[in-house]
Structure formats: C-alpha cells, structure tokens
Amino acid sequence: MKIKIRLVFVVLCSNLVFSQKANQDSLFHLAEKQLQEVIIKGKKPVFETKSDRFVFNVEGSSLVEGTNMLNVLQQTPLINIDENQGLNILGVNSMAVVYINNRKSILTGTDLMNYLKTMPADNIVKIEIITSPSAKYDASDAGVINLILKRLENEGWKGNFSMNNEQKRKNSQNSNAYLNYHKGKFTQSTTFHIGENRMLTYNNINNLIYSTGTTQRIDATILNKDFHIGGTHSMDYELNENNLIGAVVELHTNLPKIEQSNSNFTLSNTGVVTNPYFSNSQSDGQAKMVAGNLFYKYNNNKTNRSFETNFDWVYHNMYNNTQFSTYQSNPNIWDYANSIGTDESKRNYALRLDYAQPLGSYNLEIGAKSNYLNLDSPYNFSLWNGTNFINDTNKTNAFKYEEFINAGYLNLSKTFFKKLNVKSGLRVENTDIKTLQEVNSVKSNQNYTNWLPYLNLNYKFNDNHNLTLSYKKSIWRPFANELNPFVFFTNLENVSTGNPRLLPRTKEKYQVSYTIYKSFTIFSYYQNMKNLINSSAVKENEILIRKPQNLNGNIDEYYLGLSVNKSIFKNKININSTAGLIYFNTNQVNTIDNLNLKSDYVGRVNFNITYNNILNTGINLGLYNSFVTASNYINYSINKPSLRTTFEFSKEFKNGFEVEFGGWDPFSIYQWESTFYAPEASFTTNINRDLRGIYFSVIKKFGNTKSKSSKKTESYKGRIWSGNSSE
C-alpha cells in the first residue's frame, strides 16, 4: 500500500508541475551554454548546482596544473577519498561509482586509485557529482562521480610516465604510464600499471561468548603482498558529425599472498587462561580479469536526439589456495591442518540501449538493459593426516550462481519559468537468481520485480541561491560470493561463510540541498532501509560461524551536512571542507534481533587545503585531514575516534619532469577499534593498520598538450561490475 501511495505522489507532483508554462531551452543547451561562459570568464574553478547534479568546472584553472586526477578529486567539494576503499560523496553512506565520459569504470578500491593517479589532470573539463542518480543509472549506484575529459586538438602523442616508492612498515613500488594519441577522426588512450604493494598489520581480536562469559582471544600478525600488472586501451572513431563508434579493452592480473600468524587462547569469566595454541595461515592466489566494451552513439545537436547502444563483458578468475595449521610450540609439528583450494570464475555480459529526444517542451529519456552473470566456484577441502593432505569428500563441493536481470527506465524532464526544473522517472527491474551446490544438488531460486520511482525538483532563485529536492527508491542485491556457503577458517573456534538465503536490501531516500554563492552547500536527507545486509554470527559445537544476514525491521537514517569551497589569493589557495552528522534510529532492529545496541550519531569532518605556486617558487602544497567520531551503527560500533592526515609537496620543472613528496599520519599511528554485535556473541577488533609512512614520486610528461573538450565522447558507455551486477 505504501509503494502505491508513493507512486501516486510522484505522478501527481510531476503532472502538477508539468501543466505550467513551457520553457523552450533544454537542459542540455543550458548546461553547455553555462559551461562555455565559465571557460571564457576566467581560470577560477567554479562550483555550480545543476538541476540534478553538482558540477565542478576546473578546465584551465590552476587546480589542474601539474597534477593528476586523484589530487583534483581530493580538492573537489562534496568528495571524500579513502585510498584503500575508494571515493565517497558527502551525504551518501556508501562508496561512489566513478564514470569517465559517462562510462562506468569497472575498477574499484586501490585499483581505481592507481588508475586515477595515472591520468593527468589537465585533461579534465569538469567533475559531475550526482548525489541522487536518476532512473537511468544502475540500481546500486548510490552516488555517481562523472569525469568529463577533453580530446587532443593537435595530432600526435601525449602522455606521462611515473614511478612511486612508498615506505610504511614495508616498502611498496609502483609504476604507471598514460598515453593518448589523436589523428584525424581517430583517438585512442592507453594506461599501464605494474608494481607490488606490501602491508604489515597487527590485529587484536576479543570474541565474548554470552552464554559462558568466556572470551576467545586472537593476536594476529598479517603480511599482505600483492604484485599487479595490467592496463586499459580505449579507442573511438568519428564516422561523421553525428555518429561515433568505439571500443574499450581492460586487462589486469595480480598475485595476492597473505601470511597470518595467530596466538590463540580462551579467557574464562574469572580470568583463567585455557586452550592456548598457535596457528598459521598462508594464502597464495592469482587473479585475472579481461573486460571489454563496444559502443555506437548517434548524437544530433540540431534536433537534440541521441541513441546509444553498448555491449559489455567481463571475465574474472580468482585461484586461491589457503593452508591453515595449528601447533603448540614447533610450527612444523601440526596438531591440526587443512588446505582449501578455490578456483572461482565469473562471466558477466550486458547489453544496454539508451534513447533521448525532446517531446514537445519536455525532454524524454528511455532505455533498457539486459544483464547476465554466471559464477562457478569449485571448493576443495583437504585434511592433514600426519603425512599428507587428504581430500574430505564431505566438505568438498562446487557452488554455481546464475543471475538474469532485465531492466527498463523512463525519465521525463521540463523547465518552468526559467527557474524550476522537474525530472521524474521510473525504473522497472526483474531479477531471476539460481544457485546450486553440486553435492546433494542443493538448489535455491529467487525471482522478483522491483518498481523504482525517482523525482527531482530544482529551483534556481538567482545565480547565488539554488534549492534541490529529490526522492529515490533503490535496491542493493547481495554479491554472489556473499551467497556462497563454503567455510573459511580464522582459527579453530572462528570460521566464516556465506548465506544463500540473503534477500536484496531496499532503500527509500528523501534528500534536500541548498547552495549559496556557489561556495556553501547545506545537505540533508532521510532514508529508510529494509532487509539491511550485515554480518552476524551463530554458535555451533563451540564454533562461532560468522556470515552475512538480513537484519529484521526498519532502519531510519538522518543526515545533516555542510560543504565549503573557497579560493583565495588569486586562486592560489583552495579550501575544501565538509562536515556531517548522521543519526541512526535502530530501535526496531535492536528489539527484534536482540542486539542491545542503542541508536547513535556518527560525526565526520574533512578539511583539505592546497597552496599552489608558493611564493612563485613553483612548489605546490596539499594538506588533507579527516576525523570520525566514536559511534554505534546498527550492530556495529566504532569504539574510538579516528584522525587521519595526509600531506604532499610537488614541483613541476620546465623539461616536463615533476617530483612529489608526501606522507600519511605523521603525528600518530592510525588504529581502528570496533565491536560487532550478534545475538550470541560480540566481536571486538583493534586493527593497527599499516598506513603511516612517506612516499616519493617522479613523473615525466611528454608530447603535445593542446586539447579541446569533446561533446562526442561524452557518451554513456554503461559498464557492469565484476562480482555485482545490480541490474
């Protein structure tokens, strides 16, 4: 009943506003006109509020001179960066998705960060920040960062090569290259990366068992090594003024290796130590990814009609062998040992069609997408018999996963009185999921259809005041590996597994933002979540089994935040600061799931400042700080506040060379202490991460640098994620 009421509300609001006087200027023409005015007026980076997104115009500004794309994003309003996880938008409580010229990037986490470091910033025209994506975007795209790039104007080559060395507890080295070539109607870009990252982390884990009052203690030392090599190659060809074809190929491989040593014991409620032992875990793997995109786009600027078709495919294979053993004093004399081998293969294919045209005084967008994901994950479990590893047929199995998603969308927009823009849309998705455990033929099927409405109202009072209201319903499907029921060991008393019975999470979000003088943005939202997927644990035969599950009940989330973006002293100093407060009302979940964790606030503050060309020396300085308060989040608590600091110096020389020096957390070692609560136990982890350190980079730029912005490459090359096909 609630869904019907909300759908009627969206339709009524749309019809009410659409009945007003027509505005003949399309949103496309307005955006292009305003962008051209910005470029003509000067070199100051300008932050604008459009009808459904924020736009940071940086072309020709000092912000992009002599740096890379990641550094510019660090100085972009509303954007926070975590180099290990990815990009986050202020007020969007999940990682943002990155699009490049409207093409969804397949890379995430550190792979995405390394890719952005290779891209020279002087290639960028503007950064679009979409906090509430329309029905055109994937259902899982909670926030979108779209980078609009230029094309070379002069024929020839342009590129850069960089070498980076990081010293933390361990040393890491990485090299990256970027190459762009343009001739006539043909353009191509190539990136390449190679390197090895090493990280040494210390963990202290305390698992409290409620029924007995005992605590399982694990003191772990974890060494991660990851050699990686890969690259991307994209090309496009202008058939004529209105038609463009192109392709993208991505190749990546890495060799992850994890060595973990644990000291384990049990502490009774009276403080008596029992069952002490040591354990080792060694994991060696190889990951390979091959991905591609073929696209065709028709775009007629005279009639404002466009059509685009995209075919995407991804193949990802991850082979891994993990050997776990326990011992008393001699690590070569095992009390218990097992060996787990996995060889997971994912194949993802997607076909997408998008069409747009004026419809009288309205702008119409319609499209469809069909997505197929196939996962095959054999699981071989072997036990040590004192001499050899012998396959355990009771635990060896294979997990197969198939996912078909067919989606269609419609967006309709119109501008009234030259001030009010209204955009409404509807996305419909049908999902069909089949899973199979080959041993005993255990099957599971899910089939469901979701109706996902969208509404965005933007009112421009004048050049200095802008108000936006939006509503969006979305879903988040569990990852395929979250459904995989196979077991992996932390120690003898703690294992982890997936949950084939997981349901998709649904979310309804109401959002408001107000921008003043293009420098200050007040941002607020309320969202309601159902079937939230979170970690839980059950106890079976004195073993704690951790697995994801859907929490029962609704979760209400409230957010209020402020973003400040200022340039002073002739744009030499740029200040970007964001502060936000989130309140989670988890009373219903805590009561139903018996978590006994109170609702709470989470505070986040980011303050970034850059000083370009200090005292005309050509030296640039950047300082970035982030702070998170202690808080409770549903069944998870952050026990201590955390502060992170990053600094960097850079200097560009006339011969095309640039050097960078910087570091992380010079004043303290970053530690993260958190507790996860389940009905039968709580898990407290103190992670002493390997984040404090320094780095040094050398960059060499070459080739011609004259370029122009291109409308033809601003095409929506819809991209799928490896491991999560959300539509």
pLDDT in tens, 646-679: 898 988 888 888 898 999 888 877 778 888 888 8
Residue with the larger pLDDT of the pair 721 and 18:
18
Q: What is the pLDDT of residues 484-534, one digit of tens each?
A: 888 887 777 778 888 888 899 999 999 999 999 888 999 899 999 999 888
Sign of the alpha-carbon torsion through 622, 83, 203, 584: positive
Contacts of 38 (CB under 8 A, 6+ apart): 46, 48, 57
What is the 3 state secondary structure string of 43-79?
CCCEEEECCCCEEEECCCCHHHCCCEHHHHHHCCCCE
Residues 397, 374 contacting (CB under 8 angstroms):
no
Helix (H, G, I), strand (E, B) or coil at 339: strand
Whole-number Å distance between alpha carbons of 145 and 540: 44
Name the range with the highest mean pLDDT among 429-438, 584-593, 601-610, 709-718: 429-438
E strand or H helix at 18, and its extent? Answer: helix 2-18
**pLDDT at residue 262 tops 90:** yes
Please, which pLDDT band fits residue 157 given cuts at 50, 70 and 90?
confident
Q: What is the pLDDT of residues 2-49, one digit of tens each?
A: 444 344 334 334 443 333 333 333 333 333 333 333 333 334 557 777
Residue with the larger pLDDT of the pair 589 and 694:
694
Tell me, what amino acid is at 591? T
Name the range with the highest mean pLDDT among 171-185, 394-408, 625-639: 394-408
Comparing 24-38, 136-150, 191-205, which segment has the lowest mean pLDDT?
24-38
| Closest to 691 measured CA to CA, from 632, 633, 641, 646 | 646
Whole-number Å distance between alpha carbons of 15 and 413: 11
Q: What is the pLDDT of residue 38?
A: 35
Q: What is the pLDDT of residue 532?
A: 86
Residues 480, 500 contacting (CB under 8 angstroms):
no
Q: Specify burial of residue 59 (Cβ count, 10 A radius: 0-12, 13-18, 19+).
A: buried
Q: Please give the average per-residue pLDDT across 354-367, as a whole number.
A: 95
Q: How many CB atoms lie within 10 A of CB 587?
A: 14
Helix (H, G, I), strand (E, B) or coil at 653: coil
Whole-number Å distance between alpha carbons of 461 and 699: 45
Tell me, what amino acid is at 380? N
Residues 221, 202 contacting (CB under 8 angstroms):
yes
Residue owning tokens 């792979």: 111
Q: What is the pLDDT of residue 6?
A: 44
Q: How many residues does the chain have?
A: 727
From residue 595, how far is each of 123, 536, 589 by CA, in Å?
Answer: 50, 10, 8
Q: What is the pLDDT of residue 337?
A: 94
| Closest to 380 measured CA to CA, from 341, 345, 337 | 341
Q: What percent of the chain has pLDDT over 90?
A: 41
Residues 476, 492 contacting (CB under 8 angstroms):
no
Angle among Cα 503, 508, 509 to the nearest 5 degrees reads 140
Please, which pLDDT band fits residue 479 given cuts at 50, 70 and 90?
confident
How is residue 639 written in tokens?
A: 């026990």
Q: What is the pLDDT of residue 716?
A: 31
Whole-number Å distance between alpha carbons of 716 and 727: 16
Whole-number Å distance between alpha carbons of 536 and 551: 9
First-last CA distance in the chain: 25
Whole-number Å distance between alpha carbons of 472 and 512: 12
Please, which pLDDT band fits residue 599 given cuts at 50, 70 and 90?
confident
**pLDDT at residue 432 tops 90:** yes
Q: What is the pLDDT of residue 8?
A: 38
Whole-number Å distance between alpha carbons of 622 and 73: 12
Whole-number Å distance between alpha carbons of 711 and 241: 11
Q: Please give the average per-residue pLDDT across 245-265, as a whole number.
A: 93
| Closest to 472 measured CA to CA, from 425, 436, 505 | 425
Tell me, what amino acid is at 535? S
From residue 39, how far is each of 46, 149, 516, 606, 621 by CA, in Å?
Answer: 10, 14, 21, 29, 25
| Closest to 678 measured CA to CA, from 590, 603, 612 | 590
**pLDDT at residue 480 tops 90:** no
Comparing 8-22, 118-132, 410-424, which segment has the lowest mean pLDDT?
8-22
Q: Which residues of 345-371 are buried (b: 16+ CB within 10 A; e: fewer)?
A: ebebbbebebebeeeeeebebbbebeb
E strand or H helix at 240, and its extent? Answer: none
Please, which pLDDT band fits residue 408 given cuts at 50, 70 and 90?
very high
Whole-number Å distance between alpha carbons of 573 and 563: 17
Q: What is the pLDDT of residue 81?
A: 75
Whole-number Å distance between alpha carbons of 463 and 626: 31
Angle among Cα 530, 534, 585 to the nearest 5 degrees reads 50
From residue 19, how far is each of 15, 22, 165, 361 by CA, in Å?
Answer: 6, 8, 61, 11
Comparing 87-91, 351-355, 390-394, 632-636, which segment has the lowest mean pLDDT?
87-91
Region at 517 (left for phi over 0; alpha for psi -120 to 50; beta for the rest):
left
Q: Please give the average per-residue pLDDT across 167-190, as a whole number.
A: 90
Contacts of 293 (CB under 8 A, 6+ apart): 103, 247, 248, 310, 311, 312, 313, 717, 719
| Closest to 684 measured CA to CA, from 216, 223, 222 | 216
Comparing 89-98, 310-319, 340-349, which segment has the lowest mean pLDDT?
89-98
Beta strands in 531-572 (DSSP E): 533-540, 543-550, 554-568
Q: What is the pLDDT of residue 61?
A: 67
Enumerate the β-bridge partners of residue 234.
Answer: 189, 248
Whole-number Å distance between alpha carbons of 456 and 45: 26
Pairing of strands 144-152, 97-100: parallel
